[in-house]
């Protein structure tokens, strides 16, 4: 069996699905690999690095797509590329079925097996393939590093002969995977970190990282069975607003990570709150692509509102492409490892397996 991967459109996506680190592991599975020329050179991995590990570097994307049994990508390929796919080929990536329904229906009708890793169930066994975790984790880290680099003051407390710089106060909205890593990173830098979330379990988690949890009093636990958040009640939202408004007066940097799966991101940082903030503060909105947690967030833009900078980052991991690609390739490998039947040397569409079943893209139950 041959695994293939072609260059992404590096204007929107710098990450790749195959990094040199993982190649050895594919070899042990007995899989061949081919990639298109200049596949990852934009992030410092030269073709020769791949060739050294036995990867075939083909001249253009078409060759790769035609040759491979499994095509692994980061995002969904362009329409041109998709046209080349045919029966029994398998496509694995973050296909985002809700936004790409048309394209995918097309593929499915061609009997191409499509697996979208964003559909992965959050079960223990799937942790090693969990791209949401691996990528959100890095996003949380990077959001902090980036916002601190934009911020015009120093973060940690410094008592010096020329006076004291007091520690910056950071608020993390949403303490999921990204939020927790953001808390940890900000804490490391010496910031005073606050966090808020709708799930009760996150309080202990925030505190386990040295953050302070802003508890909305009388709040229900808005956690689904899968560990995700439910949409909050109006009453809850009101209480959360009041609490935040008070807190925000002293906050220097806000990192937004609150998401509700399958819905628009909740708008948590409202206009009136932003007006209370000090000039020079930063709102770094990781939820930008889902609409943002702050009122003025615009994806991939920096909005200046009364001196408060609102940074809407759509794909922050483009700023950390090496680490994120490494983790993503590992996730994909683990997924293929589960999918591939070493005896029969082919993929095994065992829909009894929750992981395979849930990630397989089907519409209306087909």
Partner 1 sequence: MSANLSATFYLISGILFILALRGLSSPETSRQGNYFGIAGMVIAIAVTFLAIGNFGLGFIVVLIFLLVGGSIGAFIAFRIPMTAMPELVAGFHSLVGLAAVFVAIAAFLKPEAFNLGIVGNIKLASLIEMSLGAAIGAITFSGSIIAFLKLRGIMSGAPITFKGQHILNLFLGILILVLIFYLCKTQMSNIFWAIVIISFLVGVLLIIPIGGADMPVVISMLNSYSGWAAAGIGFTLENTALIITGALVGSSGAILSYIMCKGMNRSFFNVILGGWGASEQNSTSTSKEQKPVKNGNADDAAFLMKNASSVIIVPGYGMAVAQAQHALREMVDALKKNGVKVSYAIHPVAGRMPGHMNVLLAEANVPYDEVFELEEINNDFSNCDVAYVIGANDVTNPVAKSDPQSPIYGMPVLDVEKSKSVLFVKRSLSPGYAGIDNDLFYRDNTLMLFADAKKMTEEIVKSL
Ligand X SMILES: NC(=O)c1ccc[n+]([C@@H]2O[C@H](COP(=O)([O-])OP(=O)(O)OC[C@H]3O[C@@H](n4cnc5c(N)ncnc54)[C@H](OP(=O)(O)O)[C@@H]3O)[C@@H](O)[C@H]2O)c1
Ligand Y SMILES: NC(=O)c1ccc[n+]([C@@H]2O[C@H](COP(=O)([O-])OP(=O)(O)OC[C@H]3O[C@@H](n4cnc5c(N)ncnc54)[C@H](O)[C@@H]3O)[C@@H](O)[C@H]2O)c1
- Pattern of binders to ligand Y over 325-364, x per CB under 6 A? ----------------------------------------
Q: Whole-number minimum distance, CB 356 to ligand X, in Å?
A: 20
Q: Which of 132, 230, 147, 228 shows the shortest CA–CA distance to 182?
A: 147
Residue 238 binds which entry of ligand Y, partner 1, a second copy, none, CB below 5-8 Å type-dependent? none
Assign 362 to helix, strand or coil.
Answer: coil
Helix H or strand E segment including 253: strand 253-256
Among 61, 103, 142, 199, binds a second copy (CB under 8 A): 142
- 161 touches partner 1 (CB under 8 A): yes
Of 108 and 165, CB closest to a second copy? 165
Distance CA 170, CA 30 (A): 48
Phi, psi torsion values for 142, nearest 5 degrees: -65, -35
Among 87, 162, 218, 262, binds partner 1 (CB under 8 A): 162
Piece of 4-12, 47-55, 126-134, 335-343 that binds ligand Y (CB under 6 A) = 126-134
Distance CA 287, CA 267 (A): 10
Of 186 and 258, CB closest to a second copy? 186
β 158-160/163-165 pair status = antiparallel
β 346-347/32-36 pair status = unpaired
- 57 touches partner 1 (CB under 8 A): no
DSSP, residue by residue, 79-133: HHHHHH--TT-EEEE---TTT-HHHHHHHHHTT-EEEEGGG----GGGGGG-HHH
Size of the site for ligand Y (CB under 6 A): 30
- 238 touches ligand Y (CB under 6 A): no
Point out which residues pair with 294 in neighbouring strands.
269
Of 185 and 338, CB closest to a second copy? 185
Among 28, 124, 164, 364, binds ligand X (CB under 6 A): 124
Residues that bind ligand X (CB under 6 A): 124, 127, 133
């Amino acid at each position: 069996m041959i695994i293939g991967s072609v260059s992404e459109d590096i204007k929107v996506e710098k990450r790749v699905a195959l990094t040199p680190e993982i190649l050895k592991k594919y070899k042990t599975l007995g899989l061949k690999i081919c990639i298109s020329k200049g596949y990852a050179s934009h992030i410092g991995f030269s073709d020769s690095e791949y060739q050294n590990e036995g990867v075939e570097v083909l001249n253009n994307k078409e060759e790769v797509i035609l040759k491979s049994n499994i095509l692994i990508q980061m995002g969904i390929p362009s329409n041109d590329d998709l046209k080349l796919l045919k029966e029994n080929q398998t496509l694995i990536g973050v296909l985002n079925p809700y936004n790409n329904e048309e394209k995918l229906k097309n593929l499915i009708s061609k009997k191409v097996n499509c697996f979208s890793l964003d559909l992965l169930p959050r079960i223990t066994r799937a942790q090693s393939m969990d791209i949401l975790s691996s990528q959100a984790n890095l996003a949380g880290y990077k959001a902090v590093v980036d916002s601190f680099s934009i911020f015009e003051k120093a973060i940690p407390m410094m008592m010096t002969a020329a006076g004291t710089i007091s520690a910056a106060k950071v608020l993390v909205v949403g303490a999921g995977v990204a939020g927790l890593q953001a808390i940890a990173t900000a804490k490391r830098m010496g910031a005073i970190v606050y966090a808020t979330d709708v799930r009760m379990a996150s309080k202990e988690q925030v505190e386990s990282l040295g953050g302070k949890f802003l508890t909305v009093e009388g709040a229900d636990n808005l956690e689904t069975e899968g560990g995700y958040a439910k949409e909050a009640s109006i009453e809850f939202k009101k209480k959360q607003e009041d609490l935040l408004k008070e807190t925000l007066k002293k906050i220097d940097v806000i990192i937004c990570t609150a998401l509700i799966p399958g819905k628009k991101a909740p708008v948590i940082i409202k206009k009136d709150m932003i007006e209370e903030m000090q000039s020079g503060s930063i709102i770094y909105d990781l939820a930008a692509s889902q609409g943002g947690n702050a009122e003025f967030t615009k994806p991939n833009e920096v909005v200046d509102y009364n001196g408060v900078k609102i940074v809407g980052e759509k794909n922050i991991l483009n700023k950390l492409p090496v680490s994120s690609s490494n983790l993503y390739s590992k996730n994909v490998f683990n997924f293929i490892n589960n999918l591939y039947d070493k005896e029969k040397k082919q993929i095994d569409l065992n829909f009894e397996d929750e992981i395979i079943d849930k990630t397989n893209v089907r519409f209306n139950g087909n």
